[in-house]
């Protein structure tokens, strides 16, 4: 039934193939932008299938958790008990009682600092490892070992070193997300075509100019692959780190809710974390797509 609906909108969405040859690029673009049928069709084909799946999951969940002996709350109970959290993400009732959106923003701030540092240091180290054979021989084994250390294993050490929870959480994000950035950048730099290097040698570009004008744009697709993996890892790490370091982030909220047995709150927080992680991933991917527009097309 629902699949039938999608098929119908799709059929409507395609422009009639009567006179495609006469449409010049400009008008085609203008027409596409203002054609509500096409936009609605595209939206429907993107939104309807996941909506159906989510609806089905909610139904199964409701049925599975409806019995009085169920250990987890069904969606209806989540909706009733955590309604404040769902409907008012931006409320602010004092230092420890704030909306989930604020908590996510505080966590995002930590991620921005930790991941930003990891991106800068990671690209620089990756460039070094990709460029110099000796740096690679020396550093690569160390990186390969350190990158397998789980994020939380770094936490006691960083707590001891920084003696404060906030920089420790940032350090954990940094150390978790830097490895894919380093490794992918190094691969990208190693794959720069010899011709580009020759061009820069003939122009006598210095190291800095070569880095900015040849290396970074040429390795950009690889760098963004690394950044995308890195931001995913850093979002994983922040939640875990905040559970232990405290504060007002979304990770600590879950820990706090668990300690006061507010399971519905945890479920809402999970949804927030998932959606935010998804948005972060898409954001980096979108920036990458814009930046590497020219590089990937040969």
For the record, the structure tokens of 72 come out as: 């987890």
DSSP-derived letter for residue 260 is T
Binding window for another protein (CB under 8 A); candidates: 61-69, 90-98, 199-207, 233-241: 199-207
Does 295 help bind another protein (rule: CB under 8 A)?
yes
Binding window for another protein (CB under 8 A); candidates: 37-45, 93-101, 151-159, 209-217: 209-217
Does 211 help bind another protein (rule: CB under 8 A)?
no
CB of 235 to another protein, least distance (A): 29
Distance of CA 147 to the CA centre of its chain: 19
Strand partners, 92: 98
Decide whether 63 or 287 has the Cβ nearer to another protein: 287
CB of 160 to another protein, least distance (A): 45
Footprint (CB under 8 A) of another protein, residues 220-279: 220
DSSP-derived letter for residue 16 is P
Decide whether 99 or 217 has the Cβ nearer to another protein: 217
34: enclosing H helix or E strand: helix 25-34
CB of 31 to another protein, least distance (A): 24
Residue of the chain from 199, 270, 275, 283 that contacts another protein (CB under 8 A): 199
Binding window for another protein (CB under 8 A); candidates: 118-126, 180-188, 202-210, 229-237: 202-210
> Which residues, at least 6 apart from 117, have a Cβ–Cβ distance to it below 8 Å?
170, 174
Closest by Cα among 100, 96, 252 to 166: 252
Does 205 help bind another protein (rule: CB under 8 A)?
yes
For the record, the structure tokens of 148 come out as: 């397998």
Label each residue of 178-208 as H, E or C.
HHHHHHHHHHHHHCCCHHHHHHHHHCCCCHH
Does 119 help bind another protein (rule: CB under 8 A)?
no
Footprint (CB under 8 A) of another protein, residues 165-194: 193
Residues in the chain: 298
Does 61 help bind another protein (rule: CB under 8 A)?
no
Decide whether 52 or 286 has the Cβ nearer to another protein: 286
Cα dihedral sign, 195-201-204-205:
positive
DSSP helix, strand, coil percent of the chain (3-state; round to 5): 80, 0, 20
Does 202 help bind another protein (rule: CB under 8 A)?
yes
Residues at the site binding another protein, with contacts judged by CB under 8 A:
193, 195-196, 198-199, 201-205, 209, 213-214, 217-218, 220, 292-295, 297-298
């Amino acid at each position: 039934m629902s699949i039938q609906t999608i098929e119908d909108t799709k059929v409507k969405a395609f422009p009639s193939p009567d006179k495609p040859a006469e449409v010049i690029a400009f008008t085609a673009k203008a027409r596409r932008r203002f054609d509500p049928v096409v936009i609605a069709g595209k939206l429907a084909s993107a939104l309807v299938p996941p909506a159906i799946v989510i609806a089905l999951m909610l139904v199964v969940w409701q049925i599975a958790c409806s019995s009085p002996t169920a250990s987890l709350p069904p969606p209806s109970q989540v909706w009733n008990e955590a309604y404040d959290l769902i409907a008012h993400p931006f409320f602010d009732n004092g230092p420890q009682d704030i909306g989930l959106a604020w908590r996510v923003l505080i966590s995002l701030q930590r991620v921005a600092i930790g991941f930003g540092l990891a991106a800068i240091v990671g690209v620089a180290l990756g460039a070094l490892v990709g460029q110099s054979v000796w740096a690679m021989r020396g550093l690569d084994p160390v990186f390969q070992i350190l990158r397998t250390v789980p994020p939380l294993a770094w936490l006691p050490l960083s707590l001891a070193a920084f003696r404060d929870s906030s920089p420790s959480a940032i350090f954990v994000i940094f150390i978790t997300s830097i490895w894919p950035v380093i490794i992918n950048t190094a691969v990208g730099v190693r794959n720069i075509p010899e011709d580009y290097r020759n061009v820069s040698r003939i122009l006598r570009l210095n190291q800095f100019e070569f880095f900015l004008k040849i290396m970074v744009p040429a390795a950009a697709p690889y760098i963004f692959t690394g950044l995308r993996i890195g931001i995913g890892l850093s979002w994983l790490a922040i939640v875990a780190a905040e559970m232990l370091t405290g504060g007002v982030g979304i990770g600590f909220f879950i820990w706090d809710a668990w300690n006061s047995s507010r399971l519905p709150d945890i479920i809402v927080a999970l949804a927030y974390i998932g959606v935010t992680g998804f948005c972060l991933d898409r954001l980096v991917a979108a920036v990458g797509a814009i930046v590497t527009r020219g590089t990937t097309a040969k």
